[in-house]
A and B are shown apart, each in its own frame.
Chain A
Amino acid sequence: MTSPRLHPDPASLPTGAGHPAPPAADGTRLDPERWVDEHGDYLFHFALSRLRDPVLAEDFVQEALLGALRSHGRFEGRSSERSWLTGILKNKILDHFRKAGRETSFTDLEFYGEEEGRTFENQAFPDHWNATLAPSEWTDAGGALDREEFWRVFHSCSGKLPERTARVFILREVDDMSSDQICATLGISPNNLWVMLHRARLALRRCLEVNWFAARGSVEEEP
């Protein structure tokens, strides 16, 4: 637990390392409503890309801003206001994942059974690529990253992953957390994590292939 992002809630952290003395307690003008206008969209997008539920994302933005208001004394301007608020939001989301991790079950994994089974259906060589489901060549993969439509497909595909799987994928690939940190945060075993990541990649790769690389020019709204 060396990383600060693993702290459950910045509001509960002691004033000290990294969270220095209050500048606002003396009545300096504090305008939290401005946060909503200036950072609301950014924070909402941040929450939505992780929680995948707009209503939940709104709630988390609200919670984060309320938390920020209560702990405003700990913001000293070393980082930008936006990254400070994002940090609080992120910790709230991680806290939510941590609690949810203990509650939800693994029914998610059923999602993969069918597709993964057929991917390696091969009469001549068992457990080798099935000719029709094998990875095809991707043209202009680099250029895709600059296209807004690509990201729409990407989000739509990742939105189809089961919740727990999507969560570990986002923590690992989008937030670049280490395997150890994710296991500690969610209370799962490394093997469990690796299998979930493998399945997320398998499904996401396939989804992007079908809905973007194979369907260039006629991108579907809902892959």
Chain B
Amino acid sequence: MHDHPHYGSVLSRTREALLPNCREMTLRSSLALDAPVPVTQRVGMVVHLLFCGLCRRYRAQLVWLSRASKGAASAPKLRGSLPPKANMRIKHSLRTAAASIAGSVP
């Protein structure tokens, strides 16, 4: 039966989906955060996670990382503030622009 090319490829694809290795699991764990994972792939994940503590840990850490990243934008200021020179320059350009807008309004 393995002579049938189509049957063979379906079989190997299903096998791949149901029996992912750890490398594949890291990709699926990430994908699960962005899109619905197809059913056979999900079944493979659940089975793998049952037996693989490292992938369970990886997955939990990705979920944590995803939540933590949401806070990155509001995290304490880390790289200083707008440099004084830039502050002056921006004010100057705003003043110039404001003057030209005012000039163009009758």
Instruction: List residues of A whose CB falls within 8 A of some B CB.
Output: 25, 30, 32-33, 35-37, 40-41, 43-46, 48-49, 54, 58, 61-62, 65-66, 69-70, 119-120, 125-129, 134-135, 137-138, 141, 144-145, 148, 151-152, 154-155, 158, 169, 172-176, 179, 190, 193-195, 197-198, 201-202, 204-205, 208
Please indicate the chain B residues that have their CB under 8 angstroms from the CB of A174 in the complex.
Answer: 69-70, 72-73
Q: Could you tell me the distance between the alpha carbons of A78 and B78 in the complex, rounded to whole angstroms?
A: 30
- Is B75's CB within 8 Å of the partner chain A? yes
Please indicate the chain B residues that have their CB under 8 angstroms from the CB of A137 in the complex.
Answer: 57
Instruction: List which B64-93 residues lie within 8 A (CB) of chain A.
Output: 64-66, 68-73, 75-79, 81-83, 86-87, 89-91, 93
Kindly report which residue of chain B lies nearest to residue A30, judged by CB atoms: B98
- Is B30's CB within 8 Å of the partner chain A? yes
Asked, given contacts A33-B95, A36-B91, whether A198 binds B27 with beta carbons under 8 Å apart, the answer is yes
- In the A-B complex, list the 6 residue pairs whose CB atoms are closest, starting with the nearest: A173-B69, A41-B81, A198-B30, A127-B21, A44-B82, A151-B75
Inter-chain CB contacts under 8 Å: number: 144
Asked, given contacts A141-B64, A208-B65, whether A65 binds B54 with beta carbons under 8 Å apart, the answer is no
Q: Could you tell me the distance between the alpha carbons of A76 and B61 in the complex, rounded to whole angstroms?
A: 43
B58 touches A127 (CB 8 A): no
A127 touches B23 (CB 8 A): yes
- Is B41's CB within 8 Å of the partner chain A? no
Contacts beyond the supplied A61-B82, A128-B22, A172-B34: 7 A-B pairs with Cβ under 8 Å: A41-B81, A44-B86, A58-B82, A126-B21, A155-B75, A173-B66, A205-B58
Majority DSSP secondary structure for residues of B touching A: helix
Ordered by A's residue number, 10 sampled pairs between the chains whose C-beta atoms are within 8 Å are A36-B90, A40-B81, A54-B79, A58-B83, A58-B89, A61-B82, A69-B101, A120-B22, A126-B21, A179-B35
Please indicate the chain B residues that have their CB under 8 angstroms from the CB of A202 in the complex.
Answer: 26, 30
Asked, given contacts A135-B61, A158-B72, A208-B65, whether A62 binds B23 with beta carbons under 8 Å apart, the answer is no
Q: Could you tell me the distance between the alpha carbons of A173 and B69 in the complex, rounded to whole angstroms?
A: 6
A135 touches B70 (CB 8 A): no
Q: Could you tell me the distance between the alpha carbons of A202 and B95 in the complex, rounded to whole angstroms?
A: 47
- Is B46's CB within 8 Å of the partner chain A? no
Partner of B90, one of A40, A126, A154, A172: A40
Asked, given contacts A128-B22, A154-B68, whether A148 binds B62 with beta carbons under 8 Å apart, the answer is no
